[in-house]
């Protein structure tokens, strides 16, 4: 057994991972105790990393026009078709769409190829949907896209404000760090600002459940309040900033009395004043913000309003102080560094930075390869797909993202993709919604195979190391692009043999003419020239380090702007005038509910990786719609019922979850489900594409929808053996279906029929399932049916229950039966009954999973609570739940509270 240090490929916390490799396979992972992001901790997704690996479902051969082929043919086809499009329709007819899940080296090569040598400005990335507003706000305020803070600031703060961030679920290890900090420092206060009560509220001293989209009003109000109460840091403002007057004047265009702000944000006045008072009276304040701010039609201004308050109070550049935009993807920051956004050129140089175009041209020029950089910025993500729809962009290469799922107005995006004459997709798995539109499919290597670097939310560059070889013919993204570049005649500029060479070039560019005296556009903040000299050995051994890394700062730089000097021409930070705006997607009588979309604890984006670990499918198994019980009553839907949401672009089908923490008038749906996992549960089908004017980021958090119950005749749960699940005939005729991978089988939730109608189940089973029923138990009185099919050898092949899934047993036992060679060999009555019941009478049925790490179910926990375990610690001691990554602790607490309340009443 051998252990290698690498970095987690999920969220922007960027945890260090120790991977154990045995016989060419990753057999286990633990947290890297030496990594400064996590010091040994991992969350449940990180802990399950090795369970998501394996060759099944992986793309292993290139495909051209639907046929598998070899690399030579595929690379030649890519090069020829790109060249032909360029020749016939011009450089701007070619586009690329990248992702914050590419490594920095992949990203650098892509940026250089598209902008530098294909000469198209149209290269954008899914960071447009994610961090673009924060990037734009940083540039306006600081003169560069620099995140001032580091993780240790959360530990050194007196007040931490979480705005539009569900840290507990989406950056769990950082949340754990904050929780420990709070335990160790009873004076540390936490405020959560989110329309929805989330698990992050577990550690909140104050919760502000504001009206969706009213954050700018809250923070411009705070600025005015600070001014009125004499809480501005006049000395800091005078020495290090400009623009206070304009920012204050804009804030004061609205009524700045507390009552007026509280009314506009729909908040309790006292709570609002408490927050204002806490913010204004502490120096060491960190405001951590994420998608509740960024994914808005005025996200840049919202981030700007937050930054204004920090600048006005001098709460920046100090330990425990600063506005902290937390990144989502593992390498969102790396993509910003190389310049992967369509408005960027390279290495923190934009088109409008004087001299930048010429400088990058000179840097990329080699003997035999002359770059042809575009004149100005290209289309941002949403506009890019509109240009494809109009036929202006005719060739698109997508890498490591799924625009058919994650972009708003998803149906129009799909129509554009269908129309686009050339779609090239680099992807790791065989089946995604996007691949249907691909003319050329290129199999890419994945985490555990790839080798390079990523930069996390605190600007820390870490190595992601190749642990095992890619399966089949899958290749690294940088290698694929380099080979295409060669075939296009740009070989001399793409002569890389190893990612270390790409990284060294990237580091050199960051320092190239990066000097206040030498260049017209001043010194650039992003400078890692201190790493430009790394040879392969030192690159391989690179320890995590925070940029800037220069000759003057060889150990890296944890905190930016400590000297009060910013990256603007005069060194002063800018406060910007912000006029608050509400969501652009308007509510109406036809669509009266506000749609909020976001993430769940155990899934990652379109589930191509997390759904491979069965235990991660347990926390939330089906697409859902969360809403307040009062709204449910008003709209005629009940808990666990299936319902339909209708929005601007289409419908969404999911199961109702009643939640008292949900604001009235608002529904929350997860962003994760694609057509691969459910019939119609893509939340982006519901959203219109309203964009922030500065960043081009879509308003993914504020849709407008109607809700109605799905009126159905029947519901059923079907389990089928894994090897049968590829041809899901059983979905036909279902109004709703949802697919839930288990360990050895797949679970399908099915629903359909007119009210009062049922199916002829026997005929259906005989028609759609490959094995005839061996067991059949039909209860005509209750309308419940259970059946199972075993093959001739006695192997369980399918299991069916007709009835609401609430009646399902925990499916662990049944899943195991699918792994048995011959479970039905001796089908005595007991065995028969157990199989039909779907559980072993002897084994307690655990119920839906709460603790994913230790596989502890709801029923066991409830029993323990009723038995007297009235604290998280007591539950942990008895059942081990909540003792590993801690993500389920808020849920455990809620269960204890609820049970205690029930007992008391
Ligand atoms: N488990 C898991 N973790 C992830 C990911 C994942 O897919 N799964 N993805 C990663 C990525 S790429 C990203 S970008 C991050 C995102 O991390 P977060 O930003 O924390 O994630 P979201 O759930 O999208 O949204 C955060 C919160 O914004 C709130 N919100 C909605 N509208 C408003 C509003 O008007 N004002 C305020 N103040 N809040 C609002 C939502 O209710 C939600 O709780 O997560 C990363 N981590
Ligand atoms: N409504 C709504 N929409 C949203 C959001 C929201 O909150 N609400 N959030 C937005 C945000 S913040 C984000 S970041 C996006 C995320 O959305 P996407 O980026 O579209 O989602 P992923 O599932 O991460 O897509 C990554 C794809 O790349 C593949 N892949 C993984 N690793 C590699 C690799 O190394 N190379 C290659 N070539 N392929 C790889 C995966 O199998 C997967 O298919 O969604 C955005 N869309
Ligand atoms: S917190 Fe983020 S980076 Fe850390 S283990 Fe979890 S998903 Fe991976
Ligand atoms: Mo993201």
Query: Which CATH number is associated with domain 2-52?
Result: 3.30.200.210
Lowest mean pLDDT among 517-526, 704-713, 775-784: 775-784
Q: Cα–Cα distance between 696 and 485 in angstroms, integer? A: 30
C-alpha 789 – ligand 4 centre gap (Å) = 43
839, HSE (Cβ side, Cα atoms, 13 Å) = 13
Residue 516 has pLDDT above 80, yes or no: no
DSSP state of 117: I
User: How confident is the model over 436-453, as pLDDT tens digits?
Assistant: 999 999 999 999 999 999
Closest Cα to atom 23 of ligand 2: 606
Q: Is 172 in the pocket of ligand 3 (CB under 6 A)?
A: yes
Residue given tokens 């797909």 in the structure block? 385
Name residues contacting ligand 1 (CB within 6 A): 11, 130, 163-166, 169-170, 193-196, 198, 212-213, 215, 290-292, 328-329, 596, 598-599, 601, 603-605, 701
DSSP state of 393: -
User: How confident is the model over 81-131, as pLDDT tens digits?
Assistant: 999 999 999 999 999 999 999 999 999 999 999 999 999 999 999 999 999
Phi and psi angles of residue 518, each rounded to the nearest 5 degrees, phi first: -85, -30
Ligand 1 pocket: which of 175, 178, 219, 292 to mutate (most atoms within 8 A of CB): 292
SS3 545: strand
SS3 816: helix
Ligand 1 atom closest to Cα of residue 163: 38
Q: Is 406 in the pocket of ligand 2 (CB under 6 A)?
A: yes
Ligand 3 atom closest to Cα of residue 456: 3
Ligand 1 atom closest to Cα of residue 672: 7
Q: Is 15 in the pocket of ligand 3 (CB under 6 A)?
A: yes
Fold type of domain 132-325: Dimethylsulfoxide Reductase; domain 2 (3.40.228)
Q: Is 383 in the pocket of ligand 2 (CB under 6 A)?
A: no
Ligand 3 pocket: which of 46, 49, 603 to mutate (most atoms within 8 A of CB): 46
Q: Is 344 in the pocket of ligand 2 (CB under 6 A)?
A: no
Query: Given this model, what pLDDT does residue 615 score?
Result: 87
Please tell me the class of the 849-904 domain: mainly alpha
Inter-CA distances, 373 with 358, 369, 508, Å: 9, 12, 19
Ligand 1 atom closest to Cα of residue 212: 35
The pair of structure tokens assigned to 878 is 């008895």
Residue 597 has pLDDT above 80, yes or no: yes
Angle at 574 between CA 569 and CA 576, to 5 degrees: 140
Greater model confidence, 504 or 846: 504
Closest by CA to 171, choosing from 308, 43, 27, 30, is 43
Beta bridge partners of residue 207, listed in sequence order? 192
DSSP state of 870: -
Q: Among residues of the chain, what percentage have pLDDT more than 70?
A: 97
DSSP state of 327: P
C-alpha 308 – ligand 1 centre gap (Å) = 22
Is residue 447 within 8 Å of residue 5, measured between CB atoms?
no
The pair of structure tokens assigned to 112 is 């250089």
- Write the DSSP string, 406-459: HSSSHHHHHHHHHH-SEEEEEESBS--TTGGG-SEEEEBP-TTT--EEEE-TTS
User: How confident is the model over 54-94, as pLDDT tens digits?
Assistant: 999 999 999 999 999 999 999 999 999 999 999 999 999 99
Ligand 3 atom closest to Cα of residue 46: 5
User: How confident is the model over 880-893, as pLDDT tens digits?
Assistant: 999 888 888 988 99
Q: Is 290 in the pocket of ligand 2 (CB under 6 A)?
A: no
Q: Is 14 in the pocket of ligand 3 (CB under 6 A)?
A: yes
pLDDT-derived band at 783 (thresholds 50, 70, 90) equals low
Query: Given this model, what pLDDT does residue 781 score?
Result: 59
Query: Given this model, what pLDDT does residue 509 score?
Result: 98
pTM value surpassing 0.85: yes
Q: Cα–Cα distance between 805 and 305 in angstroms, integer? A: 46
C-alpha 160 – ligand 3 centre gap (Å) = 20
Query: Given this model, what pLDDT does residue 757 score?
Result: 85
Ligand 3 pocket: which of 9, 12, 13 to mutate (most atoms within 8 A of CB): 13
Kindly identify the ligand whose nearest atom is closest to the C-alpha of 292.
1
Is residue 89 within 8 Å of residue 118, measured between CB atoms?
no
What is the residue extent of each domain of the chain?
A: 2-52, 63-130+331-546, 132-325, 593-709, 714-837, 849-904
Inter-CA distances, 321 with 30, 545, 557, Å: 31, 21, 15
Mean pLDDT of 250-256: 97
Kindly identify the ligand whose nearest atom is closest to the C-alpha of 44.
3
Residue 17 has pLDDT above 90, yes or no: yes
Lowest mean pLDDT among 418-427, 519-528, 554-563, 621-630: 519-528
Provide Rg for the chain, Cα atoms: 28
Q: Cα–Cα distance between 660 and 79 in angstroms, integer? A: 55
Is residue 408 within 8 Å of residue 687, measured between CB atoms?
yes
Closest Cα to atom 31 of ligand 1: 292
Kindly identify the ligand whose nearest atom is closest to the C-alpha of 129.
2
Q: Cα–Cα distance between 547 and 559 in angstroms, integer? A: 9
Query: Given this model, what pLDDT does residue 474 score?
Result: 98
Task: Please give the sequence-ordered ranges of beta strands (E in DSSP) within 742-852, or none if there are none.
Answer: 745-752, 775-779, 784-790, 796-802, 849-851
Residue 842 has pLDDT above 60, yes or no: no
Q: Cα–Cα distance between 182 and 699 in angstroms, integer? A: 33
Give the 3-state DSSP-derived string for 446-472, with helices as H, strands as E and coil as C.
Answer: CCCCCCEEEECCCCEEEEECCCCCCCC
Q: Find the helix or strand (DSSP H, E) in which 657 lies.
A: strand 651-658
User: How confident is the model over 147-183, as pLDDT tens digits?
Assistant: 999 999 999 999 999 999 999 999 999 999 999 999 9
Closest Cα to atom 16 of ligand 1: 328
Phi and psi angles of residue 494, each rounded to the nearest 5 degrees, phi first: -125, 45
Inter-CA distances, 149 with 284, 304, 561, 829, Å: 12, 16, 9, 65
Beta bridge partners of residue 564, listed in sequence order? none
Residue given tokens 């100005």 in the structure block? 376
Q: Which residues neighbour 756 within 8 Å (Cβ) at sequence distance 6 or greater?
A: 713
Average pLDDT, rounded, for the chain: 94
Closest Cα to atom 18 of ligand 2: 401
C-alpha 599 – ligand 2 centre gap (Å) = 12
Q: Is 101 in the pocket of ligand 2 (CB under 6 A)?
A: yes
Lowest mean pLDDT among 217-221, 538-542, 823-827: 823-827
Residue 823 has pLDDT above 70, yes or no: no
Mean pLDDT of 340-364: 95
The pair of structure tokens assigned to 582 is 């509400």
Ligand 3 pocket: which of 42, 199, 601, 886 to mutate (most atoms within 8 A of CB): 42
Ligand 3 atom closest to Cα of residue 173: 1
Q: Beta-carbon neighbour count of residue 111 at 10 Å?
A: 25
Kindly identify the ligand whose nearest atom is closest to the C-alpha of 451.
2
Beta bridge partners of residue 671, listed in sequence order? none
Q: Find the helix or strand (DSSP H, E) in which 80 lies.
A: helix 71-89
Ligand 2 atom closest to Cα of residue 599: 7
Closest Cα to atom 7 of ligand 2: 598
Q: Cα–Cα distance between 261 and 662 in angstroms, integer? A: 21
Q: Cα–Cα distance between 877 and 873 in angstroms, integer? A: 6
Kindly identify the ligand whose nearest atom is closest to the C-alpha of 9.
3
Residue 792 has pLDDT above 80, yes or no: yes
User: How confident is the model over 357-406, as pLDDT tens digits?
Assistant: 999 999 999 988 899 999 999 999 999 999 999 999 999 999 999 999 99
The pair of structure tokens assigned to 183 is 């335990």
C-alpha 598 – ligand 1 centre gap (Å) = 5
Q: How far apart are the first and last CA of the chain?
A: 56
Fold type of domain 593-709: Barwin-like endoglucanases (2.40.40)
Is residue 466 within 8 Å of residue 23, measured between CB atoms?
no
C-alpha 42 – ligand 3 centre gap (Å) = 6
Fold type of domain 63-130+331-546: Rossmann fold (3.40.50)
Residue 854 has pLDDT above 80, yes or no: yes
The pair of structure tokens assigned to 660 is 């008292």
pLDDT-derived band at 843 (thresholds 50, 70, 90) equals low
Closest Cα to atom 2 of ligand 3: 11
The b/e string for 7-43 (b: 16+ C-beta within 10 A; e otherwise) is: bbbbbbbbbbbbbbbeeeebebbbbbeebbbbeebbb
pLDDT-derived band at 518 (thresholds 50, 70, 90) equals low
Same CATH topology for 63-130+331-546 and 132-325? no
Q: Find the helix or strand (DSSP H, E) in which 898 lies.
A: helix 889-904
User: How confident is the model over 302-326, as pLDDT tens digits?
Assistant: 999 999 999 999 999 999 999 999 9
Q: Cα–Cα distance between 584 and 603 in angstroms, integer? A: 29
Phi and psi angles of residue 820, each rounded to the nearest 5 degrees, phi first: -75, 140
Q: Cα–Cα distance between 382 and 501 in angstroms, integer? A: 34
Lowest mean pLDDT among 641-655, 731-745, 820-834: 820-834
Q: Is 11 in the pocket of ligand 3 (CB under 6 A)?
A: yes
Query: Given this model, what pLDDT does residue 724 score?
Result: 87
Q: Which residues neighbour 823 within 8 Å (Cβ) at sequence distance 6 or greater?
A: 790, 794, 795, 796, 817, 835
- Whether cis (ω within 30° of 0) applies to the bond prior to 548 is yes
DSSP state of 544: P
pLDDT-derived band at 520 (thresholds 50, 70, 90) equals low
Closest Cα to atom 19 of ligand 2: 401
Burial class (CB in 10 A: 0-12, 13-18, 19+), 789: buried
Query: Given this model, what pLDDT does residue 587 score?
Result: 97
Q: Cα–Cα distance between 526 and 347 in angstroms, integer? A: 7
C-alpha 23 – ligand 4 centre gap (Å) = 35
Mean pLDDT of 608-612: 93
Q: Which residues neighbour 613 within 8 Å (Cβ) at sequence distance 6 or greater?
A: 48, 51, 52
Residue 905 has pLDDT above 70, yes or no: no
Ligand 2 pocket: which of 124, 400, 429, 612 to mutate (most atoms within 8 A of CB): 400
């Amino acid at each position: 057994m051998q252990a290698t240090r690498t970095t987690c490929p999920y969220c922007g916390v960027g945890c260090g991972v120790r991977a154990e490799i045995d016989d060419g396979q990753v057999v286990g992972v633990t947290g890297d105790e030496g990594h400064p992001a996590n010091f040994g901790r991992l969350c449940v997704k990180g802990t399950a990393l090795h369970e998501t690996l394996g060759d099944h479902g992986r793309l292993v051969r290139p495909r051209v026009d639907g046929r598998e082929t070899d690399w030579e043919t595929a690379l030649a086809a890519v090069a020829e078709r790109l060249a032909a499009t360029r020749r016939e329709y011009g450089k701007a007819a070619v586009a690329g769409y990248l992702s914050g899940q590419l490594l920095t080296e992949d990203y650098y090569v892509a940026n250089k190829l598209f902008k530098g040598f294909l000469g198209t400005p149209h290269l954008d990335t899914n960071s447009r949907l994610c961090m673009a507003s924060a990037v734009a706000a940083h540039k306006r305020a600081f003169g560069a896209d620099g995140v001032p803070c580091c993780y240790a600031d959360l530990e050194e703060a007196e007040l931490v404000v979480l705005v539009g961030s569900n840290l507990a679920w989406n950056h769990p290890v950082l949340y754990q760090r904050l929780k420990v900090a709070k335990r160790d420092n009873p004076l540390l206060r936490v405020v959560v600002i989110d329309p929805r009560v989330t698990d992050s509220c577990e550690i909140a001293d104050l919760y502000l459940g504001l009206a969706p989209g009213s954050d700018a009003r809250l923070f411009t109000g705070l600025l005015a309040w600070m001014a009125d109460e004499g809480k501005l840091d006049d000395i800091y403002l005078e020495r290090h900033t400009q623009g206070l007057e304009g920012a204050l004047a804009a804030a004061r265009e609205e009524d700045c009395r507390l009552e007026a702000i509280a009314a506009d944000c729909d908040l309790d006045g006292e709570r609002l004043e408490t927050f204002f008072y806490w913010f204004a009276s502490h120096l060491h304040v960190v405001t951590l913000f994420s998608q509740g701010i960024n994914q808005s039609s005025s996200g840049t201004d919202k981030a700007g309003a937050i930054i204004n308050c920090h600048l006005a109070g001098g709460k920046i550049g100090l330990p425990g102080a600063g506005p902290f935009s937390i990144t989502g993807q593992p390498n969102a920051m790396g993509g910003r560094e190389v310049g992967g956004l369509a408005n960027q050129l390279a290495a923190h140089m934009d088109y409008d930075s004087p001299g930048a175009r010429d400088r990058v041209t000179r840097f990329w020029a080699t003997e035999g390869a002359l770059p042809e950089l575009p004149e100005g910025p290209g289309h941002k993500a949403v506009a890019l797909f509109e240009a494809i729809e109009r036929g202006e962009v005719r060739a698109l290469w997508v890498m490591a993202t799924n625009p058919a799922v994650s972009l708003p107005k998803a149906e129009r995006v799909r129509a554009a993709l269908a129309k686009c004459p050339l779609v090239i997709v680099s992807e790791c798995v065989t089946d995604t919604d996007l691949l249907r539109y691909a003319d050329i499919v290129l199999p890419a290597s994945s985490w555990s195979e790839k080798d390079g670097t990523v930069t996390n939310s605190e600007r820390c560059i870490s190595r992601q190391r190749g642990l095992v070889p890619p399966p089949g013919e899958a290749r690294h993204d940088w290698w694929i692009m380099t080979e295409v570049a060669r075939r296009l005649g740009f070989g001399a500029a793409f002569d890389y043999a190893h990612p270390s060479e790409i990284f060294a070039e990237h580091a050199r560019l960051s320092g190239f003419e990066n000097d206040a005296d030498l260049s017209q556009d001043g010194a650039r903040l992003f400078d890692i020239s201190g790493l430009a000299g790394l040879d392969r050995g030192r690159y391989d051994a690179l320890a995590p380090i925070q940029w800037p890394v220069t000759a003057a700062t060889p150990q890296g730089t944890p905190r930016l702007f400590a000297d009060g000097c910013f990256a603007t021409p005069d060194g002063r930070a800018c406060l910007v005038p912000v006029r608050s705006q509400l969501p652009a997607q308007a509510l109406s009588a036809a669509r009266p509910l506000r749609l909020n979309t976001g993430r769940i604890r155990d899934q990652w984006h379109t589930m191509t990786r997390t759904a491979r670990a069965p235990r991660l499918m347990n926390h939330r198994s089906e697409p859902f719609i969360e809403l307040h019980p009062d709204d449910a009553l008003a709209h005629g839907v009940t808990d666990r019922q299936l319902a339909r949401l209708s929005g601007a672009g289409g419908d969404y089908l999911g199961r109702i979850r009643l939640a008292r923490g949900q604001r009235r008038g608002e529904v929350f749906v997860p962003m994760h489900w694609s057509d691969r996992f459910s019939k119609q549960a893509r939340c982006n089908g519901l959203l219109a594409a309203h964009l922030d004017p500065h960043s081009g980021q879509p308003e993914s958090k504020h849709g407008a929808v109607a809700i109605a119950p799905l009126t159905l005749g029947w519901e059923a749960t079907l389990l089928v053996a894994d090897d049968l699940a590829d041809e899901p005939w059983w979905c036909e005729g279902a109004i709703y279906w949802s697919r839930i991978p288990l360990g050895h089988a797949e679970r399908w939730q099915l629903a359909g029929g007119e009210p009062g109608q049922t199916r002829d189940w026997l005929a259906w089973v005989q028609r759609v399932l490959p094995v005839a029923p061996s067991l059949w138990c039909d209860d005509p009185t209750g309308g419940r049916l259970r059946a199972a099919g075993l093959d001739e050898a006695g192997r369980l092949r399918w299991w069916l229950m007709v009835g609401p899934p609430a009646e399902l047993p925990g499916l662990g036992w049944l899943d195991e039966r699918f792994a048995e060679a011959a479970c039905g060999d001796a089908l005595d009555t007991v065995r028969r009954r157990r199989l039909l019941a779907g559980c072993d009478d002897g084994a307690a049925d655990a119920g839906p999973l709460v603790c994913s790490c230790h596989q502890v179910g709801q029923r066991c926990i409830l029993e323990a609570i009723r038995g007297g375990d009235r604290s998280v610690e007591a539950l942990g001691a008895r059942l081990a739940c909540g003792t590993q990554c801690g993500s389920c602790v808020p849920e455990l607490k809620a269960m204890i509270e609820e049970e205690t309340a029930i007992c008391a009443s």
